[in-house]
Amino acid sequence: MPRTIIVSNRLPVKVTKTDEGFNLSPSEGGLATGLGSVYKQGRDKWIGWPGIVIPQQAEQENITDQLEEMSLVPVFLDQEEINQYYEGFSNEVLWPVFHYYVSTFAAYKQSQWEYYRDVNEKFKDIVLQHLEPGDVIWIHDYQLLLLPGLIRAELPDVSIGFFLHIPFPSHELFRMIPWRYELLEGMLGADLIGFHTFDDVRHFAGAVSRILPVNVSANVINIGVRSVVAESFPMGIDVKKYASLPLKKEVKENIQSIKDTFKDSKIILSIDRLDYSKGILQRLLAFEELLKTHPEYCEKVTMNMIVVPSRDNVPQYAHLRDEIDKKVGSINAVYRKMDWTPIHYYYRSLPIEMLSALYSTADVCLVTPLRDGMNLVSKEYVASRLNDDGVLILSELAGASKELIDALIVNPNNALEVCEAIIYALNMPLEEQQDRMRSMRQLIAKFNINHWVKIFMDRLKEVKQMQRSMQTRHVSAATEQSIIKRYHKTKKRIIFLDYDGTLVGFKSNMLQAKPDAELMDIIDKLSEDPANELVLISGRKHENLDEWFGNRNIYLIAEHGAWFKQQNTGWHKISGLSDNWKHDISPVLETYVDRTPGSFIEEKTYSLVWHYRNTQKGLGELRASELMNNLKYLASDKGLQLLPGDMVLEIKNVEVNKGKAALMLVERDDYDFIIALGDDYTDEDVFKSLPDNAVTIKVGSNVSAAKFYLRNPAEVRQLLLGFVEEAVVH
Ligand code: GDG
């Protein structure tokens, strides 16, 4: 069993200083509660900050020893690091931007960024000190976005999972952060990146594809040899723990005392960490609305409000606390009766036995964050309802609302809607409460915390295996040498080279992708050797290939095989084909050009191509799939093939096919070395048509029928140079 090394900003325990020494207690917050019971299995370790600044070396050692017994490893941070990395960059920049509070709170300070980077480095050093071969690293949350990349730079093959516990914003917001590239590159150091919801995955993939020059297909991001997968893993809770707590003696006593206190009054529960994203003030407004517009509920309903102190050194949090104090004070002052107080407000952390009693006694749990990655309080409430009664009111902006669809789902900014939901909840018949609660209980029982850990870890293993199988197909130095050796041993060779994406990179204007001097030199050297038949096989127009390569000693195949030109002869096109279909297809394509700025049509002899490389990101892809759908039936009626390529959609006669063209040439002679290199969909026909002993090489890392792959045109050139340069030696 490989060890898992969990890394997060905070350890799951909080260290506090007492007269007798140091005291360790569980820390609050979703991550600590969620993973706290899981990591203790096996020989796993958890690395993180212990929640206290300890300047003395001797005291640090003392704490390290105490933590070691619990398989915990501290990362000590000094006060300035806490101010700048944690309170500054993490909580004044990343937290607000990721929760869509961008204009109000985010301020971009270079020094905070530098501390953020340095503290991530510090975490990296400690992770590396404790790492053993075979360990799997699981990094958590927004404070450590750079850590996966820093570890990857040192250990290219190690398994790294990353999980973001807060929402990932739309790229429009994310790109406002000055260090957007560095942050994304840091995250992409992981092999698997997990989020709570599918919306977060889409936002992340959208940001990566718009901000970094990498290839993203759906939720897979290809960066060189590594494919990184982004996926949603909605986090669950320790359901058994929350379901068994109400049976404990201490909890039962708490339940009784709450019932005695509130007698006939119904209880609405509100529990959060102090945070503006939790919508605490908005919730108070909705409750005030209820008391104002429905006075019949006064004395019949009480709100139990627990706010757990958090980040109160950050000015916005201190301000929020004051605002909550004032609002609670004013509601209580206006509506209080001699023997009834509308809001029982606690600004403190409560022991779990009290928390469980509060969940058990609440008729309604009001969870209305303005943004929340998941929200575990809502799930804990459901898990605590052993009689299947009680009503959960849940914000549609919490990740949990995607799963707990039987809650009363509300918009937290709409005080009237929340107020009506409270009234509906207070009057909900028991049967309806039980129907809703049962289905939510079933769901959270299945998708519990162990399930979450298991599916994340299983998927990480799969991703790593996928990467390793790609790596074994990558032309390594040894494979390259063996291909070169085989090349030199053979006497009659045929070499098929695709052009765009294989010999040269893509350019925004296709005529800019001209062959450079190095490429011409390679081509000339290869074609000088009388043992070689060099074939350039491209989808480009024959006029274009003729202009660039017409006078070279090579065989040219243009427009996917519609045109061909043998050395020292003119161009021929394959006979018996019709292009009458263009009259019907052209007008359709033109409507797409009119609707999509930046796109254009290229006309070839037997094909029409719709190019969308220079259109707005996302729009081109959307239109291309619309166009595919639009032309599906028309194309098959007319014997045409729709070929999606790299930012193009080509419509061509089915008979024209690079595979057929290549096969025709291969069958003309008895070759003892056949090699084909190509990067796109149309080259797959070549790979499939060639005999088994052919060396087929895909350029880029997508799925392919080729035996090997190379990453980019530079690697292709290196291999070809190997053929010609070694010729001198052999
Ligand atoms: C982040 C994301 C995501 C609360 N009061 C007390 C107490 N708690 C515990 C609750 C719960 C946890 O704190 C709060 O978890 P949330 O999920 O509601 O919120 P965040 O701390 O903001 O967590 C969030 C989470 O990460 C996990 O990925 O769901 O969206 O923001 O477990 O029970 N615990 C104790 N006393 C209290 O007074 N002992």
Say if ligand 1 is within 6 A of residue 352 CB.
yes
Q: Is 250 exposed, middle or buried (0-12, 13-18, 19+ CB in 10 A)?
A: middle
Same domain (yes/no): 439, 480: no
Domain assignment present for residue 335? The answer is yes
Q: How far is the CA of 442 from the centre of ligand 1 (A)?
A: 21
pLDDT of residue 104: 53
CA distances from 123 to 78, 128, 144, 153 (A): 13, 9, 8, 14
pLDDT of residue 22: 86
Same domain (yes/no): 207, 356: no
Domain assignment present for residue 469? The answer is no
Domain assignment present for residue 587? The answer is yes
Domain assignment present for residue 498? The answer is yes
Q: How far is the CA of 374 from the centre of ligand 1 (A)?
A: 10
* Residues 59, 62: Cα–Cα separation, whole Å: 5
Same domain (yes/no): 95, 153: yes
Say if ligand 1 is within 6 A of residue 394 CB.
no
Say if ligand 1 is within 6 A of residue 48 CB.
no
User: How many C-beta atoms lie closer than 10 Å to residue 339's C-beta?
Assistant: 7
* Residues 243, 237: Cα–Cα separation, whole Å: 11
Same domain (yes/no): 395, 406: yes
Same domain (yes/no): 189, 258: no
Say if ligand 1 is within 6 A of residue 355 CB.
yes
Nearest protein Cα to ligand 1, atom 1: 30
Instruction: Please say whether the beta carbons of 415 and 459 come within 8 A.
Output: no
Say if ligand 1 is within 6 A of residue 376 CB.
yes
Say if ligand 1 is within 6 A of residue 279 CB.
no
- Residue 437: both structure tokens together: 């609660």
Q: How far is the CA of 373 from the centre of ligand 1 (A)?
A: 11
Domain assignment present for residue 452? The answer is no
Q: How far is the CA of 375 from the centre of ligand 1 (A)?
A: 7
| Residue count (the chain) | 730
Under-70 pLDDT residues of the chain: 28-31, 33-34, 36-38, 41, 103-106, 225, 701-702, 726-730
Which residues neighbour 145 within 8 Å (Cβ) at sequence distance 6 or greater? 94, 120, 183, 186, 187
Q: Is 715 exposed, middle or buried (0-12, 13-18, 19+ CB in 10 A)?
A: middle
User: How many C-beta atoms lie closer than 10 Å to residue 40's C-beta?
Assistant: 12
pLDDT tens-place string over residues 27-50: 765 567 667 666 776 788 999 999
Same domain (yes/no): 439, 482: no
pLDDT of residue 728: 47
pLDDT of residue 27: 72
Long-range contacts formed by 432-435: CB under 8 A, 24+ apart? 433/388, 433/389, 433/390, 433/391, 434/388, 434/389, 435/406
Domain assignment present for residue 331? The answer is yes
Same domain (yes/no): 297, 168: no
Q: How far is the CA of 727 from the centre of ligand 1 (A)?
A: 67
CA angle, 641 as apex, 638 and 647 as ends, to 5°?
A: 135
Q: What is the CATH number of the domain that holds 162?
A: 3.40.50.2000
State the residue range of the domain holding 126.
4-232
Does residue 79 sit in helix, strand or coil? helix
Catalytic-residue membership of 498: yes
Provide the domain count of the chain: 4
Domain boundary among 427, 445, 463: 445
Domain boundary among 653, 671, 690: 653
pLDDT of residue 30: 59
- Residue 257: both structure tokens together: 């005392």
Domain boundary among 429, 445, 461: 445
Domain assignment present for residue 594? The answer is yes
Say if ligand 1 is within 6 A of residue 449 CB.
no
- Ligand 1 atom with the smallest distance to the CA of 196 is 28
Pocket test of ligand 1: the residue of 168, 197, 377 to mutate, having most ligand atoms within 8 Å of its CB, is: 377
Q: How far is the CA of 440 from the centre of ligand 1 (A)?
A: 19
- Ligand 1 atom with the smallest distance to the CA of 31 is 27
Same domain (yes/no): 379, 436: yes
Instruction: Name the helix (H) or strand (E) containing 64.
Output: helix 57-68
Q: What is the CATH number of the domain that holds 633?
A: 3.30.70.1020
pTM exceeds 0.95? no
Pairing mode of beta strands 673-678, 493-497: parallel
pLDDT of residue 730: 45
Say if ligand 1 is within 6 A of residue 367 CB.
no
- Ligand 1 atom with the smallest distance to the CA of 372 is 30
The string of DSSP codes covering 371-401 is SBSS-HHHHHHHHH-TTS--EEEEETTBGGG
Say if ligand 1 is within 6 A of residue 350 CB.
yes
Phi-psi region of 568 (alpha: psi -120 to 50; beta: other; left: phi over 0): left
pLDDT tens-place string over residues 174-223: 999 999 999 999 999 999 999 999 999 999 999 999 999 888 888 999 88
Task: Given the residues 498, 500, 680, 683, select the one marked as catalytic.
Answer: 498
Same domain (yes/no): 391, 491: no
Q: How far is the CA of 271 from the centre of ligand 1 (A)?
A: 9
Q: What is the CATH number of the domain that holds 684?
A: 3.40.50.1000
- Residue 651: both structure tokens together: 């419509």
Pocket test of ligand 1: the residue of 273, 350, 354, 371 to mutate, having most ligand atoms within 8 Å of its CB, is: 273
Same domain (yes/no): 222, 364: no
Q: How far is the CA of 34 from the centre of ligand 1 (A)?
A: 9
Same domain (yes/no): 485, 596: no
pLDDT of residue 103: 61
Domain assignment present for residue 145? The answer is yes
Pocket test of ligand 1: the residue of 200, 272, 376 to mutate, having most ligand atoms within 8 Å of its CB, is: 376
Pocket test of ligand 1: the residue of 353, 371, 375, 381 to mutate, having most ligand atoms within 8 Å of its CB, is: 375
Instruction: Name the helix (H) or strand (E) containing 415.
Output: helix 415-426
Which residues neighbour 693 within 8 Å (Cβ) at sequence distance 6 or greater? 674
Same domain (yes/no): 27, 169: yes
